[in-house]
Amino acid sequence: MHRTTRLIPLALALVVGVAPAAFAKSHSAQASSTTVQHKQKMSGMHQMLPDGLSFKGQLDHAYTEALNVQSSMAMGMEEMAKNHLANVKLIITHLDQASSNLDKTTMDRLGAIRTEADKLEGMLGEREAGIKGSNALVMRFVAFYDQMASAMPMGGGGGAMARPMQSASELLAGAGDSAAMTQSALAVRDFEIAKFHARDMQLHLIAAEKALTMTHGIKAQSTEVQHVNALREDSRKLISAIDSRAKNATQLAGQMVGKIGTELPLIASATMGGGGGMSHPEHR
């Protein structure tokens, strides 16, 4: 049940995570000009892509899609696996075209993922081969993150969170993912798992608020920041409802999914060049 329901919140994440092929086509020229502006080589994990997306957020999404390929193959859903694999390949292509001035190590790691995805594409017609190939693809991501972590400077006291490495849109999409999983767990009265996902949602909202001010330079008193702050307060109430086993906890979690889904395109517009300062009708 849990691995299957992981597919559901991707619809929310795709608002900022997918259609990368179209995104890459329209922004490859902009990425090229960005390369001229940045002379210093940098690790991919630190890059913000054109229009406010991040390398890490997009790679995280590709990792999720690779896991969906793996779970789909394990459950005999070959056609579903093909769809998720196509998304992996689109996102990797997007990163190749939109990332500027990547260091050779990061480029090589992306290339290894792309090669593994290409190999897997020809294996999906046969279940055992597809399972083996999807496992290999997932392990390419495992190696990427493990190697990236070993290259990151050690920081105490949560120093790594000093500046978010994902855009506010991507972090808000992650909060929506966790909100959906919270509702899914509550629907079957699994309060422990629900609380785990609700706390993860809360952390994503905290990081999204920080990204708005630190990464995107949006003022703390802005409509966007105030709305995310209100979502944080709602998440606190949801966690309290889960702790008390409140009868309406499931409904509260569903409301969080809706609220985040409503806020997401507004945050994306404010941070990805679509025009900031948008507000909900009830706030006008």
Closest CA to 267 of 221, 226, 235: 226
Give mean pLDDT, residues 23-46: 43
The tens digit of pLDDT for each residue in 188-208 reads 999 999 999 999 999 999 999
Q: What is the pLDDT of residue 273?
A: 64
The tens digit of pLDDT for each residue in 248-264 reads 999 999 999 999 999 99
More confident residue, 3 or 79: 79
More confident residue, 99 or 213: 213
More confident residue, 267 or 275: 267
User: Which residues lie across from 102 on neighbouring strands?
Assistant: 42
What is the spatial distance between Cα 249 and Cα 34, in angstroms, rounded to a whole number?
47
Q: What is the pLDDT of residue 26?
A: 39
pLDDT interval class at 178 (50, 70, 90): very high
The token pair at 104 is: 């050779």
Q: What is the pLDDT of residue 162?
A: 58
Q: What is the pLDDT of residue 73?
A: 97
pTM (2 d.p.):
0.76
Point out the least confidently predicted range of 28-32, 130-134, 230-234.
Answer: 28-32
Give mean pLDDT, residues 154-182: 79
The tens digit of pLDDT for each residue in 39-79 reads 344 456 678 887 678 999 999 999 999 999 999 999 999 99
Residues 164, 216 contacting (CB under 8 angstroms) = no
Give mean pLDDT, residues 85-92: 97
Please check the confidence at residue 107 and state whether its pLDDT lies above 50. yes
The mean of the pLDDT values for the chain is 81
Residues 123, 133 contacting (CB under 8 angstroms) = yes
3-class SS letters over the chain: CHHHHCCCCHHHHHHHHCCHHHHHHHHHHHHHHHHHHCCCCECHHHCECHHHCEHHHHHHHHHHHHHHHHHHHHCCCHHHHHHHHHHHHHHHHHHHHHCCCECHHHHHHHHHHHHHHHHHHCCCCCHHHHHHHHHHHHHHHHHHHHHHHHHCCCCCCCHHHCCCCCCHHHHHHHHHHHHHHHHHHHHCCCHHHHHHHHHHHHHHHHHHHHHHHHCCCCCCCCHHHHHHHHHHHHHHHHHHHHHCCCCCHHHHHHHHHHHHHHHHHHHHHHHCCCCCCCCCHHHC
Give mean pLDDT, residues 160-172: 79
